[in-house]
């Protein structure tokens, strides 16, 4: 049977698959940093070249930001659109990396083989699982059992600013029977999973300016207002002692999941001790009275992602800064409107700024939460394929993170998405020393090969 031959080929070709991933990992395609724009282009071109070699009609397509890669393949069967993103997060703090982030290494840690590099898991390793599965089908049988379009984004990690116009302008070309998205993880690092809910995201940057220049904190201190003091007071009031976000109206539109869904989640074997313990914590920090999975999958949050103001370098400097800046993000759940929240957050902050200071806001990404109806037959096919590969029943889960494209595939293209991925909680995505287990890569490739077999 051809699937067995395809799977066997994946096994024997694994070393070369790893080499190809390493080549992609060496390109520092950080989308948020303009200094890496040329690297993003190089990653896009490398991917388009690989897809051309696989017989796709592939092109690097410009946008006002980082380019997209779109590739069309010939093939019979259902039309599937595969999505992944080739951009990665910044690497800082660089000094916390044990090996340089863009010099990928295959390492063995406690007997487990891992591919270590920025983007190894999020999302270069994951997107390559699909491309390598296609490669194996082509090499073994000369064809792929589905008609495939591949769509790779280069701005996912920076809020996808070019995505909506690109989807609108190329709607016909990109609309398929179903989208497959590989940018999520296994459940509890072991259980194969399809993610059916993602949280939305709103990002805001706040700058509070006090005195015209930095001041001597003794000479002026006591008379002049300090913007760091204003900022920390406001941010300190973002949550109450029960973990509830204090922006007025924040919870007004939040939808509770159905009893049935909550029961489903309750049946999953999740250990919060393990999840938090692995990062050196033990206590739940969110709203009181909610289960850990609820907190992550169906409750909104506010997080302070960064604060800067004054002197934080080596040694000490008695300064009263002119400015304080902070970056705050909100994870949103079903029914919350990001733009409405942006307005209420800005009004809430502004009302707390004293007359002697000025506040400015700079918007970052804004996207609503999304959830997927699992009725399309591709869900059952993917579930079976994942269960076969991983030797245990695949589960439907939620995710705390955001993948803006999934919502837009639905709202702009009218297309459902099956989100399946092989990342582990231990991968340290967005953190120093990101890795992807060789097991995730290998079984990930085999999983997509099986999914393609089932779809065809």
Binding residues for ligand BES (CB under 6 A): 122-123, 156-157, 159, 183-185, 201, 365, 399, 401-404
Question: How near is the Cβ of 53 to Zn ion at its closest, in Å?
Answer: 25
C-beta neighbour count of 317 within 10 angstroms: 12
DSSP notation for 421-444: --B-GGG-TTSTT-EEEHHHHHHH
Ramachandran category for residue 188: left, alpha or beta (phi over 0 → left; psi -120 to 50 → alpha)? left
Question: Cβ closer to ligand BES: 162 or 402?
Answer: 402
Question: How near is the Cβ of 337 to ligand BES at its closest, in Å?
Answer: 16
What SS3 state is found at 420?
Answer: strand
β partners of residue 80: 148, 178
What SS3 state is found at 417?
Answer: strand
**CB-based closest residue to ligand BES:** 401
Question: How near is the Cβ of 86 to ligand BES at its closest, in Å?
Answer: 11
Under 8 Å between Cβ of 145 and 75:
yes
Question: Cβ closer to Zn ion: 183 or 437?
Answer: 183
Task: Report the partner that residue 196 touches, choosing among Zn ion, ligand BES, none (CB closer than 5 to 8 A by kind).
Answer: none
Residue labelled with tokens 């494209």? 405
Question: Cβ closer to ligand BES: 132 or 157?
Answer: 157
Task: Report the partner that residue 447 touches, choosing among Zn ion, ligand BES, none (CB closer than 5 to 8 A by kind).
Answer: none
Our CA angle for 184, 129, 183, nearest 5°, is: 15
What burial letters (b/e) apply to 382-419, b meaning 16+ CB within 10 Å?
bbebbbbbbeeebbbbbbebbbbbbbbbbebbebbbbb
Task: Report the partner that residue 402 touches, choosing among ligand BES, Zn ion, none (CB closer than 5 to 8 A by kind).
Answer: ligand BES
Give the containing element (helix H, strand E) for 305.
strand 301-308
Question: Cβ closer to ligand BES: 135 or 197?
Answer: 197
With the CA atoms of 182, 187, 193 and 196 taken in that order, what torsion angle do they form, in degrees rounded to the nearest 10? -80
Q: From 42-50, 181-189, 195-203, 414-422, give the range in contact with Zn ion by CB under 5 A.
A: 181-189
Give the containing element (helix H, strand E) for 140.
helix 124-141
Task: Report the partner that residue 201 touches, choosing among Zn ion, ligand BES, none (CB closer than 5 to 8 A by kind).
Answer: ligand BES
Question: Cβ closer to ligand BES: 144 or 206?
Answer: 206
Question: How near is the Cβ of 355 to ligand BES at its closest, in Å?
Answer: 35
Contact flag: residue 122 with Zn ion (CB under 5 A): yes
Question: How near is the Cβ of 123 to Zn ion at its closest, in Å?
Answer: 4
Start-to-end CA distance of the chain, whole Å, equals 14
Residue labelled with tokens 């659109």? 81
Phi first, then psi, for residue 238 (nearest 5°) are -70, -30
Give the containing element (helix H, strand E) for 107.
strand 105-109
Question: How near is the Cβ of 182 to ligand BES at its closest, in Å?
Answer: 9
Question: Cβ closer to ligand BES: 101 or 159?
Answer: 159
Question: Cβ closer to ligand BES: 117 or 399?
Answer: 399
Question: How near is the Cβ of 184 to Zn ion at its closest, in Å?
Answer: 8
Question: How near is the Cβ of 8 to Zn ion at its closest, in Å?
Answer: 30
Question: How near is the Cβ of 291 to ligand BES at its closest, in Å?
Answer: 18
Of 39, 50, 87, 123, the one binding Zn ion (CB under 5 A) is: 123
**Which is it for the CA torsion 241, 247, 249, 253, positive or negative?**
negative
Contact flag: residue 183 with Zn ion (CB under 5 A): yes
Length of the chain equals 456
β partners of residue 329: 203, 303
Question: Cβ closer to ligand BES: 79 or 430?
Answer: 430
Q: From 6-14, 115-123, 137-145, 196-204, give the range in contact with Zn ion by CB under 5 A.
A: 115-123
Question: Cβ closer to Zn ion: 78 or 161?
Answer: 161
Q: Which residues bind Zn ion (CB under 5 A)?
A: 122-123, 183
């Amino acid at each position: 049977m051809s699937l067995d031959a395809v799977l066997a080929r994946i096994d024997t070709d694994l070393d070369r698959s790893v080499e190809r991933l390493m080549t992609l990992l060496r390109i520092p395609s950080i989308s948020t940093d303009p200094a890496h724009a040329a690297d993003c282009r190089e990653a896009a071109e490398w991917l388009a070249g690989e897809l051309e070699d696989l017989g796709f009609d592939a092109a690097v397509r410009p946008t006002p930001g980082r380019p997209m890669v779109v590739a069309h393949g010939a093939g019979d069967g259902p039309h599937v659109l595969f999505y992944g993103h080739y951009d990665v997060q910044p690497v800082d703090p660089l000094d916390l990396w044990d090996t340089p982030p863009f010099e990928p290494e295959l390492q063995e840690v406690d007997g487990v083989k891992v591919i270590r590099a920025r983007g190894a898991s999020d999302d270069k390793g994951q997107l390559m699982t699909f491309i390598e599965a296609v490669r194996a089908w082509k090499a073994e049988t000369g064809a792929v059992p589905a008609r495939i379009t591949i769509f790779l984004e280069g701005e996912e990690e920076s809020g996808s600013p070019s995505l909506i116009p690109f989807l609108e302008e190329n709607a016909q070309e990109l609309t398929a029977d179903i989208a497959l998205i590989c940018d999520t993880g296994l459940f509890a690092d072991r259980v194969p999973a399809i993610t059916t809910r993602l949280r939305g995201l709103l990002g805001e940057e706040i700058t509070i300016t006090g005195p015209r220049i930095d001041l001597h904190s003794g000479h002026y201190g006591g008379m002049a207002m300090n913007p760091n003091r204003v900022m920390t007071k406001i941010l300190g009031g973002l949550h109450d002692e029960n973990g509830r976000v204090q922006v007025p109206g924040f919870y007004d539109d939040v939808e509770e999941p159905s009893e049935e869904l909550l029961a489903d989640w309750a049946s999953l074997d999740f250990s919060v001790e393990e999840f938090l313990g692995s990062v050196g914590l033990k206590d739940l920090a969110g709203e009181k009275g909610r289960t850990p999975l609820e907190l992550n999958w169906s409750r909104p949050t506010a997080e302070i992602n960064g604060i800067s103001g004054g002197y934080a370098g080596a040694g000490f400097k008695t300064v009263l800064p002119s400015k304080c800046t902070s970056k705050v993000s909100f994870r949103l759940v079903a029914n919350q409107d990001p733009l409405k929240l942006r307005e209420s957050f800005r009004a809430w902050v502004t009302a707390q700024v004293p007359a002697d200071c000025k506040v400015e806001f700079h918007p970052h990404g804004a996207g609503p939460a999304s959830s997927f109806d699992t009725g399309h037959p591709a869900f059952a096919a993917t579930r079976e394929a994942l269960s076969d590969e991983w030797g245990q029943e695949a589960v439907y889960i939620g995710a705390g993170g955001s993948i803006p494209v999934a919502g837009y595939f639905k709202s702009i293209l009218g297309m459902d998405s099956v989100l399946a991925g092989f990342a582990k909680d231990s991968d340290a995505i967005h953190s120093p020393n990101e890795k992807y287990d060789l097991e995730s890569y290998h079984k990930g490739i085999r999983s997509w090969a099986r999914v393609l077999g089932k779809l065809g």
